[in-house]
Structure 1
Amino acid sequence: MHLVPTHASWMNVLEVWFGIIERQAVRRGVFKSVKDLNTKIRACIDGWNDRSHPFVWTAEEILKKANRPTTSSPRY
């Protein structure tokens, strides 16, 4: 069985992944060439792979979030 997060898809995981690369490798960076940018991104990916911690969801976490009470009043 493959469990996908509720109200999400694998594309959301890719969006998170690119956000991580952007925050850790690209933001506030100064790159003199495209090759320099590629080198920085590759170093970020290699470091991520060395630490190797995948995105993981469990059914309990998903159900807990899906069943939590709403914070806004339906009267409005």
Structure 2
Amino acid sequence: MVHTFVHASWLNQVEIFFSIVQCKVVSPNDFTHLTQVRNRLRAFEDRYNATAQPFQWKFTTSDLDDLLARLDRNTLAERQEESSVALAA
């Protein structure tokens, strides 16, 4: 079983990984046999796993709280502005 996130951010990470694989492994596409593709992919996987490190996220939960509070304030201001425009018309 694989847990996937509710939001699409996990898909962005998958796309980034496959972009790396495309640039570093399968380009140029000069393979004459599928065995060569498999061997190159496995060698890349071994090297990548040996050097992989956890991401150092810079966006913290307090940053998220601040962002959500700003969005709430902006949304409230927009609703109040729409209401005043509707009343004036």
With structure 2 as the length reference, what TM-score do the two structures score? 0.53
Alignment match, 1:39? 39
Structure showing greater relative contact order (alpha-carbon pairs closer than 8 Å, 6 or more residues apart):
1
Percentage of matched positions with identical amino acids: 30
Alignment match, 1:21? 21
Change in CA separation of 1:55 and 1:16 when aligned onto 2, cut-off 3 Å: farther
Structure-2 separation of matches of 1:25 and 1:19: 10
AA of the residue aligned to 1:19: S
Correspondence 1:1-76 to 2 at 5 A: 9-59=9-59, 63=63
Runs of 4 or more above 6 Å deviation? none
Deviations 1:5-27 (A, max 9, x none): xx851010000000001100001
Whose helix proportion is higher, 1 or 2?
2
With structure 1 as the length reference, what TM-score do the two structures score? 0.61
Gaps of 5+ in 2: 68-89
Q: Highest Rg: 1 or 2?
A: 2
